[in-house]
Structure 1
Amino acid sequence: MAEKANGRPCPLCGESMSHRHCKYVCPQHGVVYDCSDTFY
């Protein structure tokens, strides 16, 4: 099952990131944000 992009842009390249569990994943840079981050 493919993960659906939620529209949140990657701060590094602007690509739409996927939301997986507690992480936002950029197709180019991998995990950008996770639950331990206190900012968005």
Structure 2
Amino acid sequence: MEDEVAGDACTLEVTQGRPCPFCGASMDHRHCKYVCPEHGVVYDCSDTFW
């Protein structure tokens, strides 16, 4: 039973976000990163230009 509770606490929140500037695919928003399924991490919280 404890393993089930611990597993629930470890799930990541993933939401659909912006289109990738390179290919137009919908990127996943994970924490402070936007991840394209084709190109990987495109933006993250250290980027100051967007």
TM over 0.5: yes
Query: Which of the two has greater strand per residue?
Result: 1
Q: What is the identity, as a one-letter code, of the residue corresponding to 1:31?
A: V
Q: What is the identity, as a one-letter code, of the residue corresponding to 1:4?
A: T
- Where in structure 1 do 4 or more consecutive aligned residues deviate above 3 Å? none
Query: Which of the two has greater helix per residue?
Result: 2
Which of the pair has the greater relative contact order for Cα pairs under 8 Å at 6+ separation?
1
- Secondary structure at 1:11's aligned position in 2? coil
TM-score by length of 1: 0.79
Q: Which has the larger radius of gyration?
A: 2
Number of residues paired by the alignment? 39
- Would you say the 8 A contact 2:15–2:30 is kept in 1? no
Identity percentage over the alignment? 72
Structure 2 portions without partners, runs of 5+: 1-10
Structure 1 residue 38 corresponds to structure 2 residue 48? yes
Please give the alpha-carbon distance, in whole angstroms, between the structure 2 residues aligned to 1:39 and 1:9.
17
TM-score by length of 2: 0.66
